[in-house]
Each structure stands twice: as structure tokens, then as C-alpha cells.
Structure 1
Amino acid sequence: MKILHVVPSFVPCYSHGGVVNASYQIARKQVENGHEVSVYTTDNCIERLKFKDNYNVDVDGIKVFYFKNISNSFKNKLTIDTPVRLIKYLKKTINDFDIIHIHEHRHSLAIATHRYAVKNNIPYVLQAHGSVLPFFQKEKLKEIFDRFWGFDILFDASKVFALTDIEKDQYLKMGVSDEKIEIVPLGINLNEYDNLPDKGIFKNKYDIDAKDKVILFLGRIHEIKGLDLLIKSFAKNSASNIKLVIVGGDSGFKDALDKIINELNLNDKVIFPGVLTGSDKIEALVDCDIFVMPSRYESFTTSGLEAMACSKPLILTENNHIHTWVQDNCGLICKFDTDDLSNCINKLLNDESLCIEFGNKGRQLIEEKYDWDNVVSEIETIYHNCMTKF
């Protein structure tokens, strides 16, 4: 198959969240499976991505086209893409593809792709990655977008991918027909977690005592992630041998967190290593005792899967869509409440056998259900079914 992925940001811009990694992993696996895969994206990141030639950059066998945004700061402040030459290039090349996979749907790349896919009878699938309903931030702007473009992008898709049953319900609330919805989870490359590094490497790099406990967050430093709640809950634990490690790129919320940390006198107990990838990220996961994702809203936490692959227990808020199968299986679920989260942290810190039990169950679940090989095989089957209907 000749496959086109359309996504606002792509590797190496991991700081823009899980969609970047998910789209890359799917595309890379498809290349490994023998398909011809292209990605249309932008040069947007915290700092503008720079290449000798923004067209046809080879990324692990993927043909990636980084269209230049008119304004990088405009994109970062208002999340509005302004990709130069995208429309012209789409018109020229769209008939080269058998199937198109749009990641997220409230962006200008999706508008243009939808227009020319429909015009040229090219089937496309849409994966909203948890952004189906217009809520939390910029609700009015999202509603305006949907009125002019969003509903058409949803309704004209051959299939839409939901990460969970909760996201499926959101598609239904938006008016998408049930038969168009496929539940397709995210995954990880399990082979990357078969031979884990020795314990202590991450702690040594960041001057953490070998006997200290580590609570780990891994994701964007954004208001939606609930890190203010995590820091306040962490402060309720008076033990001196616990460190809170917040791994990820700043999406405009770190200054607010620094203020809370200063007010609570936690400067020597909270560590910000920045964005970690590859072996550096796995070293952090190996050295943590508990993985926490305290989100105000979360459709799916890939970093949680990575923690499970390292046999670590999870703590999630009930706002995370995967809480239904995490609770008392591979971790604990709390309300979005300082005391409740603090109690869950204390429970796991003081019950090593429960941590081991949750960790073992989490690893087993990853092996059975969340390996990228299995997920991408399912996606390719859906592609074929969409193509036969055109």
C-alpha cells in the first residue's frame, strides 16, 4: 500500500505529546511491513525544526515532508498551523496514495487533506487521539471549527479510530455512526523493554541517593496533565527519602509549577530532567517506584504502557479513559483530589508486595494486548477494508 499520514507535528518533536510518537510508531511499523509510507506535517516544534530540504526527508524509511509554518510562535500560542505550500503539494500528489491516515482533526492540515481526499475519492481514516469533543480549552473556537470543517472531516471518514470505549461514546455524541467506529488502542515496541538497563543509572545521573524512592511523571508539562495536583499531593508526604521526577517538555506550565514548588519548599525534592527519549527514558522508568499520571483529562497514556512494560505500578486519576482496566489490576485510581492522590501514593510506597503484584500484571497485559506489531496489523486490516469500498 501507498500510505499517507497527516499530523501537525512529527519526530523529532516529542515535546508536542503522544500523537507525535504514535504517528511515528505506526508509520515506522508500516515501513517494516513493506509499505510505501509518507508523512505530511509541519516544521513546528518548541524551536522551529530545520532541515537542508524540508521535502522528502528520510526518517527511518518514512518519507517525511515538513511544510514550513508561516509563524512558529503563532502556532505555539494559538495552536493554529499555517503550512506554506501544503495545499499546492496536496493537489499535486494526493492521487499517489491508496489510503490516508489523519491524526487529530482540528487543524488546517486536516481541512486541506479532507477537501482533496473527498474531491479525488481517496479513502481516509481519522484518529482523533482523544480530542473528539470540544472541551477543556478553547471550547468556542473548537465549536466554530466543527461548524465549518470538523463535522465534515468526521462524517466523511471511511473509519474513525477510538482509543477506548469512552472515546467511542464521544464519537457517537458527535453524530458519527456506530459502524464507522473502530476501537484501536495505542501500543509500545515490546522488544525495547526485553533487556532493561541496570537499576541506578538514572539515579546516578541526577544525584539521587540509591535508597531514595522515586515517583515519576512522563509527559508534556501542560495544565491538562494535572502536575499542580501531583506536586501538592507529593508535598503531603513528609518522608525525606522520596523524589518527584517530572520528565517532559514545557508546554507553557512550568513557571506555574516552579511557583508552587517554591511556596512548598520542595526545590531539593523535585527534579525536571527535560525531554528523555530512548535509553535515557527507559533508565528513568527502571529507577522509578511508582508511575503517576494525574491528568485533568487523558484519553490514553502511552507513557503508562511504557511503565507497565518495566513492571511498574500506576496511579491515574479517574479522568484517564484507561482507568477502567487499571484499577486494582496494575495500579490505583484516584479522584482529581489532593488528599486522594496523596493517599494512593502513600499506599504504594508502603506496600512493596502490592507494587510487585501490579507491576507483574501490567507487564503481562502489555505482552497480550499493547504491542505495536499487533496494533499496526489491525490498522492495516482496516485500511484494506476501507479501500475495497472505494
Structure 2
Amino acid sequence: MRILHVVPSFVPCLAAGGVVNASYQIAKKQVELGHEVYVFTTDTCINRLVFENNYDVDVDGIHVYYFKNISNSFKNRFTIDTPRGLKGQLKKQIKNFDIIHIHEHRHTLAILAHKYAVENNIPYILQAHGSVLPFFQKEGLKNIFDKIWGFNILHDAKRVFALTETEKEQYLKMNVEDKNIEIVPLGIDLEEYNNLPKKGEFRNKYKISEDEKLLIFIGRLNRIKGLDLLVKGFNDYLKNYNDDNVKLAIIGPDNGFEEEIEKLIDKFNINDKVILTGPLYREDKLKAHVDSDIFIMPSQYESFTTSGLEAMASCKPLILTKCNHIAEWVDGNCGISCDYNIKSLSKAINTLISDEELMKRYGMEGRRLTEEEYNWDKILDKIIKIYSKVISENNK
């Protein structure tokens, strides 16, 4: 197949979040399966990406077109893409593709991909990655976008991919037909977790002793991730469970919330207990997982957590708030789901830290689940079968 992925940001811009990693993993695996894969994206990141040739950059066998946004700072501030040259390339190349896979839908690239896909009768898949409903931030703008473009982008898709049953219900609320919704979770590349770094390197770097328990968060430092709750819950645990032998590492790029986190750490006077590492990627991130004891994702809203899968692949137990769509199957299997409040999070931390056997059991079950349910190889097999069915239906 000749496959086109459309996504606002792409590797190496891992700071843009989980959609970048997911679209990269899918495209990379498709190349490995022998398909010809293209990605249309932009050059925007925290700092603008620079290439000798922005068109057709080889990324692990993927043909990636990094269209220049007119303003990198405008994109980062308002999340509005202005990709120069995209319209012309779509008009020129779109008939060459068998199928298009659009990641998220409230962006300029999706508007143009939808327009030319419909005009040229090229089927497309839409994967919202947790952004189906217009809520949490900029709700007014999202509602306007949906009235002008969003509903059409959703409804004209031959299939939409839901990460969970909860996200499927969200598509249904947006009047997407049930028959067009497929449950396709995110996955993990297990090869990266079969030969993990040796223990101790992350702890040595950040002066964490072997006998201290280490809690970690990995993700964007954004308000939606619940990091204020994390710091407050951790402080409550320290005070009420009299445990001086534990540290918290908050790992990830600032996405507008780092200053607030630092103020809370200062307020509670726990600077010696909380480490802000900044962003860590690839080998450095694996080192953090290896040296951790518990992974925590305290989000206000989360459709899925790739970092949680990474922790599971590293045999680490999870603590998630019930605001995470996967919290229900995590709870009691490979971790604990807690209410979105300080006391519930503090109690969850204590439940795991005080029970080594429970932590070990949850960690082993998490690894089993990644191998059997969240392995990219198995998920890609399902995606390719859906592509083939859609192409066949479209050609009738």
C-alpha cells in the first residue's frame, strides 16, 4: 500500500506529546511490513526543526515532508498551523495514495487533507487520540472549528479509531455511526524493553540512594496532567505516612505549567524530595523507568497513557486517576486507580509502597498485558486489515 499519515508534529519533536510517538511507531512498523509510507507534517517544535531539504526527509524509511509553518512562535502559542506548500503537495500527490491516516482533526492539515481526499475519492481514517469532544481548553474555539470543519472531517472518515470504549462513546456523541468506529489502542515497541539499561544510572545522576523508593511522572508539564495534584498528594503522603525514604521525579518538557509546580514545591518545602529533570527521551527515559518503583499519571483527563505502557513494559506498577480512560482495567490488575483528590492519591501511594509483593505482582501483570494486548506488531496487523477493508469498500 501507499499510505499517507497527516499529523501536525512528528519526530524528532517528541516534546509535542504522545501523538508524535504513536504516529511515528505506526508509520515505522508499516515500513517494516513493506508498505510505502509518507508523512505530511510541519517543522514546528519548541524550536523550529531544521533540515537541508524539508520535503521527503528519510526517517527510518518513512518519507516525511516537514512543511514550514509561517511562524513557529504563533503555532506554539495558539496551536494554529500555517503550513506553506501543503496545499500544492496535496493537490499534486493525493491520487498516488491508497489511503490516508489523519491523526487528530482540529488542525489546518486535517482541513486540507479532508478537502482533497473527498474531492479525489481517496479514503481516509481519522484517529482523534483523545480529542474527540470539544472540552477542557479553548472550548469556544473548538466548537466553532467543529461547526465549520470538524463535524465534516469526522463524518466523512471511512473509519475512526477509538483508543478505548470511552472514546468510542465520545465519537457516538459526535454522531459518528457505530459501524465506522474501530477500537484500536496504542501500543509499545517491546524490542526497546527487552534489553533495558543497567540499574542505577538515573539514581546516580540525581543522587537518589538505592534504598529510597522512587516515584516518577513522565509527560508534558501541562495543567491537564494533574501535576498540582501530584505534588499536593505526594506532600500529603510525606506528612501523614511519615516516610522520609522516598523521592518523586517529574520528567518532561515544560508546557506552560512548570512555574506553578515549582511554586508548590517551594510552598511545601519539599525541594529535597522532588526532582524536575526536564525532558528525557529514548535511552535516558528508559533509565528512569528502570530505576523507578512506581509510575504515576494523575491527569485531569487522559484518553490513554503511552508513558504508562512504557512503565508496564518495564515491569513497574501504575497509579492513575479515574479520569484516565484506561483506569478501569489498570485497577487491581497492574496498578491502582484513585479519585482525583489529594487524600485518595496519597492513600494509593501508601498502598503500593507498603507492599513489595503487590508492586511486584502488578509490575509482572503489566508486562504480560503489553506483550499480549498492547504490542505494536499485533495492533499494526489490525490496522492494516482495516485499511484493506476500507480500500476494498471504497473501490466497489
Which amino acid letter does the alignment assign opposite residue 360 of structure 1?
M
Residue 328 of structure 1: SS of its match in structure 2? coil
Give the alignment of 1:68-217 within 5 angstroms. Answer: 68-217=68-217
Q: Distance in 2 between matches of 1:109 and 1:125?
A: 14
Instruction: Return the match for 2:265 from 261, 265, 273.
Output: 261
Paired position in structure 2 for 1:35: 35
Is 1:53 the counterpart of 2:57? The answer is no
Q: What is aligned with 2:337?
A: 333
User: Matches of residues 19-30 of structure 1 in structure 2 within 5 Å?
Assistant: 19-30=19-30
Distance 1:304 1:60 in 2: 25
The list of structure 1 runs, each at least 4 consecutive aligned residues, that deviate by more than 4 angstroms after superposition, is none
Q: CA deviation at 1:195?
A: 2.1
Aligned mates of 1:79, 1:267 — CA distance in 2: 33
For residues 24 and 219 of structure 1, what CA distance do their matches in structure 2 show? 17
Where 2:237 maps in the other structure, the secondary structure is coil
- Give the C-alpha shift of residue 281 in structure 1: 1.0
Q: Deviations over 1:60-100 (max 9, x none)?
A: 10010100011111111111111111111111111111100
Give the Cα–Cα distance (whole angstroms) in 2 for the partners of residues 262 and 75 of structure 1.
32
The amino acid across from 2:360 in the alignment is: I
| Residue 102 of structure 1, CA deviation | 0.1
| Separation in structure 1 between the aligned mates of residue 47 and residue 274 of structure 2, nearest angstrom | 26
CA RMSD for the aligned pairs? Answer: 0.8
Measure how far apart 1:240 and its partner are. Answer: 2.2
Which deviates the most, 23-32 or 242-251? 242-251
The answer on whether the counterparts of 2:237 and 2:347 sit within 8 Å (CA) in structure 1 is: no
| Cα deviation code 1:196-236 (max 9, x no counterpart) | 22221110122211211110101111000000100011111
CA distance in 2, matches of 1:60, 1:197: 23
* Separation of aligned partners in 2, 1:269 and 1:68: 42
User: What is the DSSP-based 3-state SS (H/G/I as helix, E as strand, rest coil) of the residue aligned with 2:301?
Assistant: coil
3-state secondary structure, aligned to 2:81: coil
2: CA distance between counterparts of 1:362 and 1:5?
30
Give the whole-Å Cα distance in 2 for the aligned partners of 1:385 and 1:55: 30
Q: Tell me the distance in 2 between the aligned counterparts of 1:11 and 1:223.
A: 24
1:237: how far off? Answer: 2.6
User: Is 1:286 aligned with 2:294?
Assistant: no
Long gaps (5+) in structure 2 = none
* Amino acid across the alignment from 1:376: L
- Distance across 2 between alignment mates of 1:218 and 1:177: 35
> d(CA) in 2 for partners of 1:191 and 1:21?
15
Q: For residues 249 and 33 of structure 1, what CA distance do their matches in structure 2 show?
A: 33
Please tell me whether the aligned partners of residues 103 and 126 of structure 2 are also in contact (alpha carbons under 8 angstroms).
yes
Match 1:344 to one of 340, 344, 348: 348
Q: After alignment, is 120-129 or 88-97 more displaced?
A: 88-97
Whole-Å separation in 2 of the counterparts to 1:9 and 1:272: 25
Q: Counterpart of 1:110 in 2: which secondary structure?
A: helix
Cα deviations across residues 146-170 of structure 1 (Å, max 9, x unaligned)? Answer: 0000000000000000000000000
Structure 1 residue 268: deviation in Å? Answer: 1.8
Counterpart selection for 2:307 from 303, 308, 327:
303
Q: Aligned pair count?
A: 390
Equivalent residue number for residue 355 of structure 1: 359
DSSP-derived class of the 2:215 partner: strand
Equivalent residue number for residue 236 of structure 2:
236
CA distance in 2, matches of 1:60, 1:241: 43
- Superposed CA deviations along residues 302-356 of structure 1, whole A, max 9, x for unmatched, are 1101111111110000000001110111100111101100110011111111101
Partner of 1:321: 325
